[in-house]
Structure 1
Amino acid sequence: MKKILTHIVTMVLCIASWNLNSCTGNFEEYNTNDETPEYGSIDPCTLLEQLISTGAYYIYERSWRVNNELMQYTVDCSSSSRMQRYIFQASDFNTPWDRFQRYAANANHMIQLAEKYKDNNAKAMAMTLKTIFVSLLADLYGDIPYKEAYRIEENITQPAIDPQSEVYPALIDLLLEANSLYDTRTNSNGNYESPLTVPTKDLLYGGDIAAWQKLTNSLCLRLCLRLSNRPEIGTASIMQEIVSNPGKYPIFTSVNDDAKVCYTGVAPFKNDFGDMTDATFTTSSRKCAAFFIDQLHTTSDPRMSQWVTITSSEDVHGVISGVTQPDGTGACIMNVSVLKQYTTPVWFMTSSEVYFILSEAAHNGMITGGDEMARQYYEQAVGCSIRQWLPSISEANIDRFLHAAGSKVAYDGTLEQIILQKWVSLFMQGFESWCDYRRTGYPNLPIGPDCDNEGVLPTRLGYGQLLISTNHANYQEQIARMKATYPVVGKGTLGGDNMLTPVWWSLRAVEMERSTMN
């Protein structure tokens, strides 16, 4: 396959020398016994467990704290939280920047170790994990350091900030290279000829290399669709090649393939939401949003029993988002017995998401199949999401949900329907629903009358303070570029480091560029 970029950059996202060692050295120490090894001398596979465990948990935590509020799954009714009105604190910008950058740094270090020990399977896994965390940074903030990042050995301590138009294609190329590295050959006993050296460190698949390859290619589909508003990049042809060659590019096809972190419930491999009180998690102030409850309740969605606790059977309702004093009296709350346990699983990616990606791609012509395949993929997507949360549900019940007379979830041939049901399925699963909203404008969320940010759902997060303070010159150059590209981003807001400047792949960015040209 022809690469999008002619050169793959393998060093990413290190802002400066401020904590390169702390980003990687702590994992090495964590995964050893009494004696700390020389830096860079451990088996690359030993980095997997902490990287997977902490990375997955933090994505789950941000789902609960940020994405749920923005995308109207929940509304925090307390006076101390105003995120549902698009009012953020500095920590909401700083913490994701620091965390995802640290995880990406550790994944990058794992790549270096895998190269040192000539372990291609470990290298491909590390490339995949690095792409997850780097793409999250680009999704949240926009342009980020990439080509010059993590090159401290070359004395590059203030890397340039690269445009998303280069970062995303480079990440796609990284995944395509990772796919080519996997060695899934097995011997006569069915064992891998090149197994992981420490398969127990793999909290996702237990050393199943073929399963990792499916994750790599499924993630590639996600990033290709992310650029659907930028057809000049050419990701449609990559999606088609992946779909047309399942032997070369295997992808998720069932819930058994899902990238699911199953916590043991024993420290350190536990979902830390188990430490949180029920009141903090949901019962005190963080209630389910009206838009979410209306969608679940009016469609008799079987997943509602797993996600929601109904406090009043006579008046099933959620809280209206975007108002100064939200009223949570009698509103539905999140189901703590499912969502807030030490063993509550977390997903990096699911088969349901993959089928929704394929449904949209068939619908908009990025892959072949037309509306009939879009319908089939859509129904498989909904079915996989239901099985994800209700493994014992019968196929007959899923079929009734999709096809009963008057069903509101039956496929109707519209992008809005595809994205609405995808939004439902992405509850508590990272920032993907926010990405879809910025990319497509769906679901059609009602914006409350008291929302800040000129009444526009935030387009991005502001850069973290660490970037601003340690890489100030490049930060200032980046702000100048943002202002030049999008001079005015609201009714009275100038372009720059704010939550109205659009990310490059978004529908808002494309529309603003078109209006400038006219």
Structure 2
Amino acid sequence: MKKNFRNILFLLLGSSVTLLPSCKDGFSDINTDPNTTTDALPEQLLAPALVNTLNYNMIRSRNFNNELMQVTVDMSDAEGRVFRYDIRNTWSDYTWNGWYAQLTNFKDLYITAKDPINNNRSYMAISLICQAWIYSLLTDTYGDVPFSESNKAKTEQIYEAKFDSQKDIYFGMFAMLEEANSLLQGPNLPAINAASDPVFSGNLTRWRRFGNSLYLRMLMRISGKSEVSGEVIAKIKEIIDTKNADYPKMTSLDDSAILRWTGIAPYTSPFIGVRTQDFSSPAIADFFISHLVAWGDPRIDISTYGSSGINRWAIAQGPGGFAGVDSGYEPGTPVVKQSYFYSTTSARSLQNDPLTGMIMNYAELQFIYAEAAFKGWINGNPATFYKNGVINSIKQWIPLWPEANIDTYLLNSDMQWSDNDSDNDKMEKIHLQKYYALFFNDLQQWFEYRRTGHPVLPKGPGLKNGKVMPARLNYPVYVQSTNPTNYKKAIAAQGEDKISTEVWWQKP
């Protein structure tokens, strides 16, 4: 039995993209010449790895993050409901297996791009950015995870990788992003095949801007950790202020890192695979919808879309109009389903929306600036950054929304910035608006809530786990059998393998 588990681990950590069943039809047609190509080329590896990673991210964003973060409510009295913080161990396997499999593919991309035959430092840099992105998802979800020895079953015959500390993982990711930024510097960058890049269509300037914006997301994530805060805050200032030109970052919505689904294979949203009745089954949570209604938010304004009668976020009205269900209600409590997300049976649906392939958007970066500015870490007016964040959060979904409406929007929603607000109130405003900017952006809402405690979520009477937001997912059960020595070392260092055990950056 142990041998079988080890074989499974080998496939997860050592396989190449051609072994993965989740690759969609059509990838083999991208720049493939069967008469001359015996090994995978960089342009053949990038798109499948990106699409597969987004598949895992989006599925868990819908059925895990949205339930925890009161976007939706499962409407079930059964046990194991995520919205009640009742999380079974089996939730762990899906993203662990998927993300590590795609890391193998991105590492293969780096190796093939570095080969003297290909010699393409642009693909090398993209690989490093994507590896840092996936490792950040892994460590923010589980805590200490295999990093320095991961995905080396094929290349170095390491079948039982050690679990690195989250601190070491973060600084390892920073090194990756520094290298990527350097590789994408200077003139005469080797081009990449635009058809191989479904995110930026071969635009290397935008890849570099995304990498450095991702760097700021990660720095902000650990900025509250006392043992590294001084160093981290100094780096944030360096990237934004003192060495701004050396670290180009997103400058507009056009720079947002989004894999836009075209509806044509292989670029079809994974939500299409969800049965239509299942997609519209969860109710919208009261927390999510009530703010949008109170603000008169254009993302649920039917008039924006004329006679179609469907708003941009494709939210259906329930018996009470645009209304939600209280999350965390007690089992056995009579609850009436209200609003829900339309499925593809309607004229518009998030099931096939091109913008749900979200990796990082420009609005998020503006909210990072706003937080850093009000805390005094960087130059600039936090009110300006905050306003830019709100504008671009809306315009991401409604490009024609007039920016001139922003002051009225903020005034009517009582969300205008005030320097007289307490620090706690400023954080609440930033992160409530950021919450909507992170809509369907993998697990970022959950990560940011765990970092900041914002936005403040109501606590329903039916919550488990002591009514405390889960701090992590447990490790997959099979890891205890395939990597027992390192698993035991990990829990000895980090704490019990429970959802209540805080990860390194959550602790003071």
Is the structural similarity TM-score above 0.5?
Answer: yes
Out of 310, 335, 340, the position equivalent to 2:351 is 340
Q: Tell me the residue number matched to 2:87.
A: 88
Distance in 1, Cα, partners of 2:66 & 2:334: 17
Match of 1:9 in 2: none
Per-residue deviation, 1:338? 3.6
Map of 2:147 onto structure 1: 146
Q: Residue 291 of structure 2 corresponds to which residue in structure 1? A: 295
Letter in 2 for 1:375: A
How many angstroms does 1:478 deviate by?
1.4
Distance change >3 Å, CA 43–CA 457, structure 1 → 2: same
Q: 1:478 aligns with which of 490, 493, 506?
A: 490
The C-alpha deviation readout for 1:262-299, integer Å capped at 9, x for no partner, is 122122220131243332112x3x01001111111111
8 Å CA contact 1:306–1:335 kept in 2: the answer is no
175 and 407 in structure 1: CA distance in 2 versus 1, 3 angstrom threshold:
same
Q: Structure 1 residue 328: deviation in Å? A: 5.3
Residue 157 of structure 1 corresponds to: 159
Cα deviation 1:221-253 (Å, max 9, x = unaligned): 000000111243211111111112332211112
Displacement, 1:25?
3.8
Q: Which of the residues 399, 408, 414 maps onto 1:391? A: 399
Please state if 1:26 is matched with 2:24: no
Q: In the alignment, what sits opposite 1:249?
A: 247
1:400: how far off?
Answer: 1.9
Alpha-carbon contact 1:15-1:150 (below 8 Å) kept: no
Distance 1:85 1:340 in 2: 25
Stretches of structure 2 that go unaligned for 5 or more consecutive residues are 1-6, 301-310
AA of the residue aligned to 1:158:
E
Measure how far apart 1:86 and its partner are.
Answer: 1.1
- Alignment size in residue pairs: 467
Cα shift readout 1:310-368 (whole Å, capped 9, x = no counterpart): 42475532011112246552511124424111645411000000001111111223323
Give aligned-pair identity as a percent: 32
Match of 1:179 among 181, 200, 223: 181
Question: How many angstroms apart in 2 are the aligned matches of 1:103 and 1:235?
Answer: 28
Mapped pair 1:309 → 2:315:
yes
Match of 1:269 in 2: 267
Offset at residue 78 of structure 1 (A)? 2.9
Partners of 1:20 and 1:71 in 2: CA distance: 31
Structure 1: 5+ residue stretches without partners: 1-13, 186-191, 484-495, 511-518
1:15–1:159 contact (8 Å) kept in structure 2: no
Q: Which amino acid aligns with 1:297?
A: V
Aligned to 2:52: 54
TM-score after normalising by structure 1: 0.85
Question: What is the CA distance between 1:220 and its match in structure 2?
Answer: 0.2
Task: Name 1:216's counterpart in structure 2.
Answer: 211
Say whether residues 1:356 and 2:367 are aligned partners.
Answer: yes
SS in 1 for 2:244: coil
Cα drift, residue 466 of structure 1 = 3.8
1:57–1:16 Cα change, 3 Å: closer
Amino acid at match of 1:378: Y
Q: CA deviation at 1:303?
A: 1.8
**One-letter amino acid of the counterpart of residue 428, structure 2:** E
What residue number does 1:188 align with? none
Contact conserved, 1:178 with 1:216, CA < 8 A, in 2? yes
SS at match of 1:166: helix
Equivalent position SS for 1:462: coil
Q: Paired residue for 1:436? A: 448
- Supply the RMSD in Å over aligned alpha carbons: 2.3
Deviation at 1:42, TM superposition (A): 2.6
3-state SS of paired residue (1:348): strand
Aligned positions of 1:394-409 closer than 5 A: 394-402=402-410, 404=411, 406-409=412-415
One-letter amino acid of the structure 2 residue matched with residue 141 of structure 1: Y
- Preserved CA contact (<8 Å) 2:356 2:441: no
The residue identity in structure 2 corresponding to 1:302 is P
Secondary structure of 2:167 counterpart: helix
Cα distance, 1:137 vs. partner? Answer: 0.3
- 1:486-497 aligned within 5 A: 496-497=496-497
Aligned 8 A contact 1:320 1:326 in 2? no
User: Bigger shift: 260-269 or 125-134?
Assistant: 260-269
Q: Which moved more, 1:134-143 or 1:263-272?
A: 263-272
Contact 1:15 1:467 in 2 (8 A): no
Amino acid paired to 2:469 = L
Distance (Å, rounded) in 1 between the aligned partners of 2:340 and 2:333: 14
What is the CA deviation profile of residues 45-78 of structure 1, one whole-angstrom value per residue up to 9, with x for unaligned ones? 2211111112123212111010000000110103
The CA deviation string for residues 394-446 of structure 1, in whole angstroms up to 9 with x for no partner, is: 122233212x3x53221234111111111122111111111111111111111
> 2:189, 2:492 → 1: CA distance?
53
The answer to whether the 8 A contact 2:432-2:455 is kept is: yes
- State the distance in 2 between where 1:452 and 1:297 align: 29
